[in-house]
Chains A and B, each alone.
Chain A
Amino acid sequence: MQTQIESEPRVSYSSRRDSELVPRSVVQARNLTRRFGRGETSVDALRDVSLDVPAGRLTAIMGPSGSGKSTLMHILAGLDRPTSGTVEIDGTEITTLDDTPLTKLRREHVGFIFQFFNLLPMLTARENIVLPLEIAGEKVEAAWLEQLVGSVGLAERLSHRPAEMSGGQQQRVAIARSLITRPTVLFADEPTGNLDSMTGGDILALLRHSVDAFDQTIVMVTHDARAATVADRVLFLADGQIVKQLTDTTPEEVHLAISELGKE
């Protein structure tokens, strides 16, 4: 099934999107600035960044190390607060929220995928997947769980613990875990960063599949040029600013864009 998704021509999923219609934006960032440190040693990781994340699309954020791409995602996801500027997720301004409403927002609207998977080692795959529901005190929809487990290809592995699984399998569990709550937006932080290239490709395809099959909105920070093959839109950051934007692009174009950024 993984191969199935991968073998699908790239055109097929971009064509599924009605690019003519402007989709609703679920995350809106305005004039984001993030300054680290104080005084003379301070560094501006983000400088006046604004962007909209359209619903049901996969947005990739790329850029060289230190470009501010991770900081941008952390702020969009409410993990970090900007020095100035605002972020709205599903209409809620999050940069000023207290911990409790922010936690509630995470439960309802936000999913995460990490570079190091961040599974709980003592729980089985199934337990890890349903953990967000359990934490929120919600019931597990058996049909949805089954569908999800099927689509990430883990039906046989549900009773295994993370230590008994390969990196790719662990990341699949992490993806299922992030999708189980049907979040408004899913943030993926270098999801292929800790995987070999083959497995990384599978994971990218799986993310694309989530967008297509479940209409999932995804924001992904990555170094992986192949992200271009699955992203609807690629934003390029350099020195804390969005410097370029490509839609329906190819790895070659991405490579070119990155090397140009590096030259500047």
Chain B
Amino acid sequence: MLRIALRGLWSRKLRTSLTAFAVVLGISMVAGTYVLTDTINKSFNTLMASARADTSAVVSGKSLVKNGATSDQPTVPASLLARVSSLPGAASAYGVVETESARMIDAKGDPVGPAGPPALGFGRDPASIGRDGAFKIIDGRWAKGPGEVAIDVASAKKAHVSIGDTIRVEGSGPLQSFRIVGLLQWGSSNSLGGATMAVFDLPTAQRLFGLGGRLSEIDVIAKDGVSPARLVAQIKPLLPPNAKALTVDEQIKEDQSQWSSFAKIIRYALLTFAGIALFVGAFVIFNTLSITVAQRTREMATLRTIGASRRQILGGVLTEGLTIGALASVIGIGVGILLAAGLSALMGAIGIDVPRTATVYAPRTFVISIVTGVVVTLLASLGPALRATRVPPIAAVREGAVLARRRSSRLRQIASGLLLATSLAVLGVGLFGSFDQSSQRLLTIAAGCALFFIAVALLSAYFARPLARIVGAPGSTFGGTAGKLARENAMRVPARTASTAAALMIGLALVTFVSVLAQGFVRSIGVAIRKQASADYIVMANDGYSTYSNAVAGRLARVPGVEKAVALRTDTVIAFGKQISITGFDPKTASSVYKFDWQEGSNASLAKLGGDGAIVTDSFAHKHGLGIGSPLPVQMPDGRKLRLRVIAVNKQPELIELLGEVTVSEKAFDAVYRNPKTTLLTYLRTTGGESEAVAARLRSALAVFPSVQVLTEKKAIDTQSSGMNTLLAMFYVLLGLSVVVSVFGIVNTLALAVFERTRELGMLRAIGMTRRQARRMIRHESITISLIGAATGIPVGIFLAAMVTTALSRYDIVFSLPVSSLVAFTLATVVAGMLAAILPARRASRLNVLEALQYE
């Protein structure tokens, strides 16, 4: 039986590979994701380990805030260095300054390097540098003294500068110029994921990055015979409360864990899209196998008459599924490896070169890929296999392919209805229920969606016929006889048409879903921003979310025409055991731009902010039972504790909150956050509103802050939305993969239909249908199927988006239909249908009429 199944597959090579292709794409994405993330992980880990090759122990500041949510980077006092280096176990110790905000600016005033990766800036003791594996000087020497810098080779190339030239660097204040004295690279890699590197001597870096008297870390080298652990034990008594000392191995692990948690997010995001593609692929497999089983009814029946049991028939079809799955997985892994290589080449092309030691092929990659591919295919072939077992032996003596009798269609209807109800219930729980962890909520929603798609696919068999009548109408009206026949053909086996269209439906539904939701978000962002504040100009970082120098607001306030410049500082603080956002502003000017919506207190309360007063949001106050006068103990990222007092409660929308849960006066804020770059937004009120003259003056005042931009309020809102558009474009590309898979499904169905209707096509050709007409007939059928996919997918996507919008109603998300996008999706669907028809149509038109008519 096994042999029969395999031989059968072999004899239908083309069909088998087309079927397998439905899974190949999904698996290639799974494999590609693992290979890529493993490789990047390994490279970073190796780099991080090698950078500390010579070090025994590392002293650094502790931060209570996770995920780098603070600009208050952990530091240790510089005075600690001398005490550590005089320890009996320490041979030597070096101070290090390290930041991610040392943007280099080239002669034209443009930033060097891509926007995403960090612009690393270091302060190193020239005596220590080069000792470890971190930096290597390629040309020139290390920076010594206030006006010097050594930069990485790649950045020098990008900025067209070399030794002796000047380069400007934006640290925590205005731009400063430095003479390049050396070119360097990190370890043996000439790129660190596109990050730029500028290395100064210690005092220069401390000054440039606003870290006077502080160090990012102290690297300690042990005397011979002193173990890192013993050294750490000696260091510990010297440490201030917010500092820690780790052995080098512990430190490397910590360095790596930060990166790997980021890599994990990317990995799971990519795997989610791979999962969607596999889900769609499962539909295609199910569909193709269903059709081939139907076409082989007589073969199955004959096997039954010569003694095959139902179990053997089941085994036969499942073997086919298993083989297709295994085949697809193996090919998918191959494609995935290419995909990973292609992706890292692509990333290199846009400047985010991935440092690569060697591509990592973890056994886990292969196991997961193959198991997933096989399991998905097996599950998809279970339905057709069970159908095959219901082929009665008597079908062997009937003429033509008799479709195996379906389970009572009434039963099916009820089952589909029940599934729909269940899926909606699961979705409802996922969206509106309460969960401890958001991952559980997401999984529940995902399961609900999957069930919902299956239910809609099952039910669509019942409305495929009327739908085909409607969406096939244009083709039928303008496509002549071929168009009419195409519509009839699409309606012939509604279940088949429906499940072919269902694969496309899923992709379209998801595309529609993200598009509707994104539009809602974009609209809501504007509404929320306008609701909270108004100004003539808004100043923000180029990326829209980074904090920038606190000196900016003061400088802009002095520009003629500017009446008020209100800066919003932001950072993270810990209150009631949770990380929350804290804002600092000047209470004297804040109310001129910010529209407070007082729940308790009034604009007059602002005067009471002082050194320990706090305004809290209504939801935060409600959650922790706070009111005017309540004490509010908070803890700084470095561990210092502050006792604040609530002086007012302000209502705030929950989307794009301009103020954090807690707001304090600028003075109080600056007293505790040392970093001079904590400004998120500066609101400007100008005399006479927007004017080109003022704008020009503002821009020239900001020339020394190239990472900051000044925008009109409308532009500022658009900038916030453009981030959403980038994300949306990424989603479209990743979901496009699923659409490609479903297009293969259409190709399969049509190819099988052409095969099935060979005799009929021959007859049509014999009575005068031209090749062109035959092609058109197939093409129109394909477009009809695609449009059924669109006609179900788009409403399903809109429905899901409406549900999510309702679930997020407290965030005031607007439900808004992106009509032009939806029209574009429909047109894209028609194009997809036309592409899918190319091969089957060619086959139909090249049919040998005589042979077709003789075909048994």
Report A's interface with B, CB cutoff 8 A: 70, 74, 77-80, 99-100, 103, 106-107, 110-112, 114-116, 118, 120-123, 131-132, 134-136, 177-178, 181, 189
Contacts and interface: CB of A to CB of B under 8 A. Distances in A.
Given A122-B8, A122-B11, A135-B312, A79 B394 contact: yes
Contact of A106 (B11, B305, B312, B397): B305
Interface residues of B, number: 26
B10 A122 contact: yes
Contact of B302 (A70, A103, A114): A114
Contacts of A80: 394
Interface in B1-50: 1, 3-4, 7-8, 10-11
Contact of A120 (B302, B304, B309): B302
B306 A123 contact: no
A103 B394 contact: no
Given A112-B305, A120-B4, A132-B306, 20 more contacts: A79-B397, A100-B309, A103-B304, A103-B309, A103-B310, A106-B307, A114-B302, A114-B397, A116-B298, A116-B856, A118-B298, A118-B302, A120-B8, A120-B303, A122-B7, A131-B4, A131-B306, A132-B307, A178-B306, A181-B307
Interface string B389-400: 000111011010
Interface of B: 1, 3-4, 7-8, 10-11, 298-299, 302-310, 312, 392-394, 396-397, 399, 856
A111 B302 CA distance: 11
A120 B12 CA distance: 13
A110 B307 CA distance: 9
Contacts of B302: 112, 114, 118, 120
Contacts of A111: 306
A74 B396 CA distance: 11
9 contacts: A74-B397, A79-B393, A79-B396, A103-B304, A106-B304, A114-B396, A131-B303, A135-B308, A177-B306
Nearest to A163: B11
A70 to B, nearest CB: 7
Given A79-B393, A115-B397, A118-B298, A135 B305 contact: no
Nearest to A81: B394
A79 B305 contact: yes
A111 B397 CA distance: 13
A156 to B, nearest CB: 22
Contact of A121 (B11, B308, B310, B397): B11
A110 B304 CA distance: 12
Contact of B299 (A74, A120, A177): A120
A123 B7 contact: yes
A10 to B, nearest CB: 29
Contacts of B396: 79, 112, 114, 118
Contacts of B298: 116, 118
9 pairs of A and B residues whose beta carbons are closest in the complex: A107-B307, A122-B11, A118-B302, A79-B394, A122-B7, A132-B306, A103-B309, A112-B305, A135-B308
A37 to B, nearest CB: 16
* Residue with the highest number of chain A CB atoms closer than 10 Å, among B1, B11, B299, B305: B305
B518 to A, nearest CB: 51
Contacts of B303: 120, 131, 135
Nearest to A119: B302
A207 B7 CA distance: 30
Contact of B307 (A79, A120, A135): A135
A177 B306 CA distance: 9
Nearest to A115: B397
A110 B393 CA distance: 13
A82 to B, nearest CB: 13
B309 to A, nearest CB: 4
Nearest to B307: A107
Nearest to B302: A118
Contacts of A100: 309-310
A183 to B, nearest CB: 10
A136 B4 contact: no
Nearest to B5: A122
A123 B8 CA distance: 8
Contacts of B10: 122
A134 B303 CA distance: 11
Contacts of A99: 309-310
Contact of B306 (A78, A116, A121, A135): A135
B719 to A, nearest CB: 63
Nearest to B393: A79
A103 B308 contact: yes
Contacts of A70: 397
B678 to A, nearest CB: 73
B306 A106 contact: yes
A131 B3 CA distance: 10
Contacts of A78: 393
Contacts of B304: 103, 106
A115 B3 CA distance: 26
B852 to A, nearest CB: 16
A118 B4 CA distance: 14
A147 B298 CA distance: 29
A116 B302 CA distance: 11
A208 B392 CA distance: 30
Nearest to A105: B307
Contacts of B312: 135
B397 A136 contact: no
A185 to B, nearest CB: 13
A6 B3 CA distance: 38
* Residue with the highest number of chain B CB atoms closer than 10 Å, among A77, A111, A122: A122
